[in-house]
Structure 1
Amino acid sequence: MSWFSNFLTSSIGRKVVMSLTGLFLIVFLLIHLVGNLQLLYDDSGEKFNLYAKFMTTNPLI
């Protein structure tokens, strides 16, 4: 086994993987919260439409 697989199967490695997964989930939720809060602006939904267009046309997403 390589050092990487040894690290991932250790208790510290599992905790690192779990913390990175949790951090990703929190960032994901915050980004979508901020995007959905664009609906509260009094601009007839222009900012939300821009956010929705970005989310649908971005190749990384």
Structure 2
Amino acid sequence: MKFRITGPFHSHGPSSSSENNRWPTARENKLGSWCFVQRRALKKGELPPTRKDLLDKIAFPWSLK
């Protein structure tokens, strides 16, 4: 399954967990799974630079620590 970034997100992020001020984990829902895939692709050097730039623009959390 592939996803595309099509527009800006709300200031609290695209999360059903916004009340916790964090992004969902892979175990919580499909968005969490997609986030996991993006992080793994970055670690493996397989994430296209244009996608990383787009995710950086929305303050994508590359680390959950």
Structure 1 and Structure 2 fold alike (TM over 0.5): no
TM-score, normalized by length of structure 1?
Answer: 0.30
TM-score, normalized by length of structure 2?
Answer: 0.29
More helix by share: 1
Q: Which structure would you say has the larger Rg?
A: 1
**Which is bigger in relative contact order (C-alpha 8 A, separation at least 6)?**
2
